[in-house]
C-alpha cells in the first residue's frame, strides 16, 4: 500500500494567509511563508498554495511569495491561481515550485494542460477543480458542476467529464475541491471524490471539509483519494500534522513519518 499524503493548503490573498467557508467570508490569519515552514517542520508531505484572487482580478501569480517559500521548505509544493500560459508555469517552476496547478485558466483554454505537460512533464501539471453540487441535467449528468474564478462563475460543465478530459490532455494529478464542503469541517464530499477517482487513473487529492482525522481516513479509503488536503483543521491549531498521521496510522492508513 502506498503512503497516503497529507497536504496543507494555504490560500493567499494580498500576500496574507487567508481562510473562508464555501469560498466566502475570507479573513486573514497569518503569514503564508512562516506557516509553510511550520508545516514542513511538522512533517507535511507536500504543500499547496493558491493565489485565490489572481484569476478574478486578472493578474499574475505571486512570484515573490513562491521564491520566499522555496528558500524555507524542502518538500514538494505546488502553486495555483492566475496561471494562464506556459510562461506563467515556467515562472513558478523557476521560482522554486515543483508543480503548477491550473484551474480557471485550463477551463478557458484546455490546451494549456497539454502544452504544460509537453514542456515540463505531466508530473508537474495538477488540474485543480472547484466543484458544486447541482441538479442533474443533460449537460451535467453527475450532478457536479465545474465552477471557476474562485467559485464565482458556473461553467455548465460536468465535473467527471472534465476530470477525464484533463487526464487525457496530460494532467498528472487532480486536486478536487468541493465548494459545498469547503471550510465547513463537516467532512469531504466522499461521493464526489470517489466518482472522480473511479473515472481517472491519475492520483486524486481530496479537498474541502476536513474537520476531524476520521474525515481524512474516509477520503483515502471510501473516497479512494491518494491524498487529503487540509486547511482549517491545522490552521486554527485543533490538530498538528503528527496528530493526524498518528490517527490515520491507527486506522490502518499508511503515512510517511520522515523524509
Taking only the tens place, the pLDDT of each residue in 7-60 is 999 988 877 787 666 655 566 667 888 999 999 999 999 999 988 666 555 555
- For the cut 80, the answer to whether the pLDDT of residue 62 exceeds it is no
Q: Which pLDDT belongs to residue 135?
A: 96
pLDDT tens-digit series, residues 158-199: 999 999 999 999 999 999 999 999 888 999 999 999 999 999
- For the cut 70, the answer to whether the pLDDT of residue 231 exceeds it is yes
58: left (phi over 0), alpha (psi -120 to 50) or beta: left
Confidence category of residue 259, pLDDT binned at 50, 70, 90: very low
Q: Which pLDDT belongs to residue 21?
A: 67
Q: Which pLDDT belongs to residue 2?
A: 81
Q: Dig out the grid coordinates for 119 from the structure.
A: 514542456
Predicted structure pTM score: 0.90
Q: Which pLDDT belongs to residue 31?
A: 86
Q: What values do phi and psi take at 38, rounded to 5?
A: -60, -45
239-245 contacts, C-beta under 8 A, 24 or more apart: 239/213, 240/42, 241/6, 241/8, 241/39, 241/42, 241/43, 241/44, 242/42, 242/43, 243/213, 244/6, 244/213, 244/216, 245/6, 245/43
pLDDT tens-digit series, residues 73-117: 999 999 998 888 999 999 999 999 999 999 988 999 999 999 999
Catalytic residues: 11, 130
Question: How big is the chain by its Cα radius of gyration, in Å?
Answer: 17
Compute the average pLDDT of residues 229-258: 91
Q: Which pLDDT belongs to residue 232?
A: 87
How far, in Å, CA of 47 to CA of 56, rounded?
23
Q: What values do phi and psi take at 157, rounded to 5?
A: -115, 135
**Mean pLDDT across the chain:** 90
Compute the average pLDDT of residues 111-134: 97
Q: Residue 79 half-sphere exposure, CB side, CA atoms within 13 Å?
A: 31
Amino acid at each position: 500500500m502506498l503512503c497516503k499524503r497529507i497536504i496543507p493548503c494555504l490560500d493567499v490573498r494580498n500576500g496574507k494567509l487567508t481562510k473562508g467557508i464555501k469560498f466566502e467570508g475570507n479573513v486573514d490569519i497569518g503569514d503564508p511563508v512562516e506557516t509553510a515552514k511550520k508545516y514542513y517542520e511538522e512533517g507535511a508531505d507536500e504543500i499547496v498554495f493558491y493565489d485565490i484572487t489572481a484569476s478574478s482580478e486578472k493578474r499574475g501569480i505571486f512570484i515573490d511569495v513562491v521564491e520566499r517559500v522555496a528558500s524555507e521548505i524542502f518538500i514538494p509544493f505546488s502553486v495555483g491561481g492566475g496561471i494562464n500560459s506556459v510562461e506563467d508555469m515556467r515562472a513558478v517552476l523557476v521560482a522554486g515550485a515543483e508543480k503548477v496547478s491550473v484551474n480557471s485558466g485550463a477551463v478557458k483554454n484546455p490546451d494549456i494542460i497539454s502544452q504544460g505537460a509537453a514542456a515540463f512533464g505531466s508530473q508537474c501539471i495538477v488540474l485543480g477543480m472547484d466543484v458544486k453540487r447541482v441538479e442533474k441535467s443533460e449537460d451535467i449528468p453527475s450532478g457536479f458542476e465545474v465552477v471557476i474564478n474562485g467559485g464565482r462563475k458556473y461553467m455548465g460543465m460536468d465535473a467527471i467529464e472534465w476530470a477525464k478530459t484533463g487526464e487525457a490532455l496530460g494532467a498528472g494529478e487532480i486536486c478536487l475541491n468541493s465548494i459545498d464542503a469547503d471550510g465547513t469541517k463537516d467532512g469531504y464530499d466522499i461521493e464526489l471524490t470517489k466518482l472522480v477517482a473511479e473515472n481517472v487513473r491519475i492520483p486524486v487529492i481530496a479537498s474541502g471539509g476536513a474537520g476531524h482525522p476520521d474525515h481524512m481516513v474516509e477520503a483515502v479509503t471510501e473516497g479512494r483519494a491518494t491524498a487529503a488536503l487540509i486547511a482549517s483543521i491545522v490552521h486554527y491549531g485543533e490538530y498538528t500534522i503528527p496528530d493526524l498521521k498518528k490517527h490515520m496510522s491507527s486506522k490502518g492508513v499508511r503515512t510517511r513519518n520522515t523524509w
